Each structure stands twice: as structure tokens, then as C-alpha cells.
Amino acid sequence: MAMKHLLTLARASQRRLCLNQAIRSASSAVAAVFSPFTSPATPSFITPYDYAPESMKSKLKKLENPDTRFLKYASPNPTLASHDHILSAPETRVTTLPNGLRVATESNLSAKTATVGVWIDAGSRFESELTNGTAHFLEHMIFKGTEKRSKRGLEEEIENIGGHLNAYTSREHTTFFAKVLDTNVNQALDVLADILQNSEFHEARIHHERGVILREKQEVEGKIEEVVLDHLHATAFQHTTLGRTILGPDENIKSITKDDIQNYIKTHYTATRMVIVASGAVKHENIVEQVKKLFTKFPTGSTSTSQLVDKEPANFTGSEVRMIDDDLPLAQFAIAFEGASWTDPDSVALMVMQTMLGSWNKSVGGGKHMGSALAQKVAINEIAESIMAFNTNYKDTGLFGIYAVAEPDCVEDLAYAIMYEVTKLAYEVSEDDVIRARNQLKSSLLLRLDGTTAVAEDIGRQLLTYDRRIPTAELFARIDAVDSDTVKRVANKYIYDRDMAISAIGPVQGLPDYNWFRRRTYWNRY
């Protein structure tokens, strides 16, 4: 019996030995199958269940030590972009005539078109409460005929030369410009000089234009974004001239007279507050000679816009205005802090901060991998239809904030994301984010100068706001001087524990109240 028991144990031990050999053979076969996918450091024995973590380890090592060839072309870490090529940009030449009228040109003789225009340092801000809307009314009436050109003759003359004549009015500026072929520059200047100096404001045409402007006002009021931003100005700069609309109230549009228009011209259309700009296929000397001959009736003027602004400054008031309208499908709102003026050194840093916050639109897509942390949050969590950071400058103040559109049930989450990212600028700022924003800002500034009209507009605006045109190289140097410490300093000055203005329209019952927003302009950390 003992011998029989020993034989049984021997056979069982032999079977276990064979089973172990079979397992080792199977493991070797599995290892051979997966050997192309394992690193040299991987053990020779590996099961399918161990493959996933081993594969992840190799991927993590690649991320920690990226291929330099990849970094050369698409680095996730932004580096400062060189824009040395802009130093060869065309020169902006400026000549001041004896009466104070300035003539500025940027020549591009390889171009076949040119833009000529008149930029005037006057807008709705320089109107009284009773005459609010006169500047915009004048913009309409200026094309209705002169002493030697009828309305129809003016339109036909511009069409016959294939030109484009246009104008616009803002809160601080008024512009009249024409885009024409290089052979018609002198004729365009003659038309501009004629309509600005010799327009006939017939009562019949004024009466007809009232209806046109009232219909335009209805169209503007149908654009919710325009209404939100108008309300934002009205509440942020309440009881000041900057809080009024550009078109003016209905009662003013119905009552503006020929005397109101002519008085506005005599008061604000003075030579010292005007700039004649030409860009494209133009020569500076020729433009100056034509301006001397044609623009002769403008008075010199003794009052500057700075004096008018000092007399009636735009004081910022922390406040809100809401219009609940459940018939609208989406809630639209704007949150703004008081910003910097055109000439404030902090205005450049605010431009960089605006780029850091960025913009995003659901219809465009993307966003989950954008440099803006706010755009990432909004896109990943799908809490908005669109967002847009804005930085609006005026002569003595500005507005810095976010405009957003969202579903009614998402407004609270969106408001939290906006306030978190805006306030974070005063606490946590990555140098990589600042470098990326600087590169994006410089690129967008260059892309805007695409065409003679954009260049002319840039020259006219800068001469009215800075009294000179800032060279692109100098502007880029100012942008490159903004670092993370600058962003935090400026954010602490304009955002940290500061009042804000809020404007909202639509189903905005879920939007938190003003005190909720005010409490989130700072973080309490212990």
C-alpha cells in the first residue's frame, strides 16, 4: 500500500510539472505576439491584462521626453514670435497746414486703388441731450446734394468711376471716405470737399430722412447685441454724454432742424479736429496740394475735444439693467469693468488680457483645445452659444468685459465660469498664456490692415486719438513688454474688488444678481 501511495504522488507531481511547462509555453507564445509593442525593459512574461498599463507607461515616457522634431514644428509651449519684417512697413507722412488741418498718407505705388477720407474728432458724445442724434442725422444729410451736385448727380458720378462712397458715426468720431481707382483720387477728394463744405440741407429732404433714420433705428433695435451694448453704455456712464445712443431718441429724430445741423457743423467741423487721410496708390505731395486747393472753408476753431471732455467727463457707475423677455430663445448679457483710455499705458495690457480671455462660437466648433481657459470651459461643458471678450477705449475711460449668449438654464454656470476666469487674471497667470496672447494679438493687428480702407481708418483713428500714428514696430514692442506680472498688476487695478456694469436681455431670470457678481471680483484664500 505504501508503495502504491508513493507511485500516485509521483504521477501527480509529474502532471503538475507538465502543466507548469504548458503555462510557461503559453506565456512565451503570448509574449512573442506582443513583443513588437513592448519596450525593451518589459519582462519576457506578460499577460494580455498587463499589456494596457505597460503600453501607457511607454506613452507617458514619450510625453515626458518629446521628440525634438515634433517640437520644432508644433510646440505646445509657445515661444515669442519674431516680427522683424514689419520694420520695412511704408512710412506714414503727415503735413499740418497753416489752419491746423492735417494731411496724412501712406503710399503703396504698386497698388491700383486708393482710399481717401476725412476723419473728424466729433461724434454723439459731443451733443447735448436735446440735440442727441444730430451727428448721425448729419451723416445721412451730407449725401443729399450740394450747390453744384444734385443727389442724383452725386450718386451717378461715383458709380461712373466705379467708386465707393461711405460714412459712419461713432460716439467720438465721424468719418466720410471714398475708395476709388488710382486715376480717380483727385476727383474723390473734390467730391468729399464739396459735400462737407457746400451741402444744401433742404427742409423737404430733412423731413424725408426722418423716416429713413427711424426705420434704421428699428432695425438696430432688432439686433439684440446692439441693444445690450447700448444699454451697457447707458448704465455704465449714466447721466453723462457717453451713455447716450448714437442715433438718438425718437423725439429728437423727429425734431432735428436745419439750424441744428448747421450749428453742429460750425461748432465741431473745425480744421484742428479734422484729418485728411489717403492710402494706396497716392503721392503725399499731390494729396497735400489738392487739399490746399479744395478744403478752404473750415474754421480753425478754438475749442479742442480734450477741453470738451474735461468739461463733461464720463464717470463710470457700477450698476445693472435687465430686460426680461421670455419670447426670446436665448439669454444675452454683457459684464464690463471700467477700462483704460486710448492714451493710458495700461491699454496695451488690457488688449493682451482681452486676447487671453478670447472668444468662442458654437457654430464654428473647436474650443476644447484653445489657449483660452474660458473658451475651453465653455466648449467642454457646453454652457454657451458664444462668448466674446471686448476692450473698448474712449478719450478718458473705457469698458473691459465679456459678452455672452446662452440657453436660459446655463446662464448661472456661464456667469460662474466668466467671473472665475476674469478674476483669475489678478491671481494666477501663466507666462505661456501671456506669450500666446501676445503672438495672437500681434497677428490680428496685422491682419486687420488688409486693404487701403483698413489702413486709412487706422491712420485717421490714431491721429485723432494719439495725435500721431504709432509705428507697428513700436506697438509690437509695447505688446512684448507685457508679461505675467504686468497682467496681474493691471487686473488688480481694473478688476480686483471693482464695481462693474451689467446689461442683460431675454430669459435672464436665472442670471445671478449684481451682488453675486460683485462678490466674485476677489478670492478669499487662507
Instruction: Walk me through the domains of the chain, giving residue ranges and CATH numbers.
Output: 93-311 (3.30.830.10), 319-519 (3.30.830.10)
d(CA 212, CA 209): 5
Q: Is the pLDDT of residue 382 over 60?
A: yes
d(CA 146, CA 297): 14
Average pLDDT for residues 337-364, to the nearest whole number? 94
Segment 326-347, tens digit of pLDDT: 999 999 999 999 999 999 999 9
Note the pLDDT of residue 294. Answer: 94
Average pLDDT for residues 88-113, to the nearest whole number? 90
Note the pLDDT of residue 48. Answer: 60
Task: Give ∠ CA 394-396-399 in degrees, rounded to 5.
Answer: 50
Note the pLDDT of residue 483. Answer: 94
pLDDT band for position 109 (50/70/90)? confident
Neighbour-count burial of 20, counting CB atoms closer than 10 A to its CB (0-12 exposed, 13-18 middle, 19+ buried) = exposed
Q: Is the pLDDT of residue 26 over 80?
A: no
Q: Is the pLDDT of residue 367 over 90?
A: no
Q: Which value, in Å, is the radius of gyration of the alpha carbons in the chain?
A: 33
- List of residues 6+ apart from 349 with CB closer than 8 A: 482, 486, 487, 489, 490
Q: How many of the other CB atoms lie within 10 Å of CB of 13?
A: 10
Q: Cell 446689461 appears where?
A: 503
Are the CB atoms for 358 and 436 separated by under 8 Å? no
Bigger pLDDT: 54 or 263? 263
User: Which of 440, 452, 441 lies closest to 475 in space, CA to CA?
Assistant: 441
DSSP 436-502: HHHHHHHHHHHHH--SHHHHHHHHHHHHHHTSSPPPHHHHHHHHHT--HHHHHHHHHHHTTT---EE
What is the average pLDDT value for the chain, to the nearest integer? 86
d(CA 168, CA 177): 9
pLDDT band for position 494 (50/70/90)? very high
Note the pLDDT of residue 83. Answer: 64
Note the pLDDT of residue 105. Answer: 96
Note the pLDDT of residue 31. Answer: 47
Note the pLDDT of residue 399. Answer: 97
Note the pLDDT of residue 6. Answer: 46
Average pLDDT for residues 248-258, to the nearest whole number? 93
Task: Give ∠ CA 447-450-453 in degrees, rounded to 5.
Answer: 135
Q: How many of the other CB atoms lie within 10 Å of CB of 126?
A: 23
pLDDT band for position 71 (50/70/90)? very low
Q: Is the pLDDT of residue 72 over 80?
A: no
Are the CB atoms for 136 and 170 separated by under 8 Å? no
pLDDT band for position 193 (50/70/90)? very high
Note the pLDDT of residue 517. Answer: 96
d(CA 490, CA 345): 10
Which triple of cell numbers denotes residue 239? 447721466
d(CA 356, CA 240): 31
Decide if 219 is catalytic: no
Q: Is the pLDDT of residue 409 over 60?
A: yes
d(CA 197, CA 246): 23
Query: From start to end of 69-216, where are the E strands?
Result: 92-96, 102-107, 113-120, 164-169, 174-181
User: Which of 178, 144, 182, 146 lies closest to 163 in space, CA to CA?
Assistant: 178
Looking at 106, 127, 139, 457, which residue is catalytic?
139
pLDDT band for position 365 (50/70/90)? confident
The single-letter DSSP state of residue 146 is B
Q: Is the pLDDT of residue 252 over 80?
A: yes
Q: Is the pLDDT of residue 290 over 50?
A: yes
Q: Which of 64-68, 162-166, 217-221 has the lowest mean pLDDT?
A: 64-68
The single-letter DSSP state of residue 144 is S
User: Which of 215, 293, 279, 334 lies closest to 459 in space, CA to CA?
Assistant: 279
Q: Is the pLDDT of residue 135 over 80?
A: yes
Which triple of cell numbers denotes residue 277? 487721410
Note the pLDDT of residue 188. Answer: 95
pLDDT band for position 172 (50/70/90)? very high
Segment 439-468, tens digit of pLDDT: 999 999 989 988 899 999 999 999 999 999
Decide if 209 is catalytic: yes
Q: Is the pLDDT of residue 50 over 80?
A: no
What pTM was computed for the model? 0.82
Looking at 157, 209, 407, 412, which residue is catalytic?
209
